[in-house]
Amino acid sequence: MPGHEIAGTVAETGSAATAFAVGERVSVGCVFNACGECARCLRGEEQCRARGFVTT
């Protein structure tokens, strides 16, 4: 269900972190763990993924 998104600001990072920096705004959508490869995911419909998905 939309509305379960998580947003915040990076407070600290580990020594191997390269994708985000301290102070940067970040978010996680309501659907994660989608494969990103099936036809539904490629159409932007990961919430309809045939093999299921995980929500926040």
Q: What pLDDT is stored for residue 56 in this prediction? A: 62
Task: Write down the residue that tokens 């309501």 correspond to.
Answer: 30
Q: Where are the domains of the chain?
A: 6-55
Tens of pLDDT, residue by residue over 22-45, are 999 998 777 667 777 888 878 877
Q: Which amino acid is at 5?
A: E
Q: Report pTM.
A: 0.53
- Convert 16-25 to b/e letters by CB count within 10 Å (16 or more is b): eeeeeeeeee
Residue pair 22/11 in contact (Cβ under 8 Å)? The answer is yes
Q: What pLDDT is stored for residue 13 in this prediction? A: 95
Q: What pLDDT is stored for residue 42 in this prediction? A: 84
Tens of pLDDT, residue by residue over 3-23, are 667 889 999 999 999 999 999
Q: What pLDDT is stored for residue 1 in this prediction? A: 47
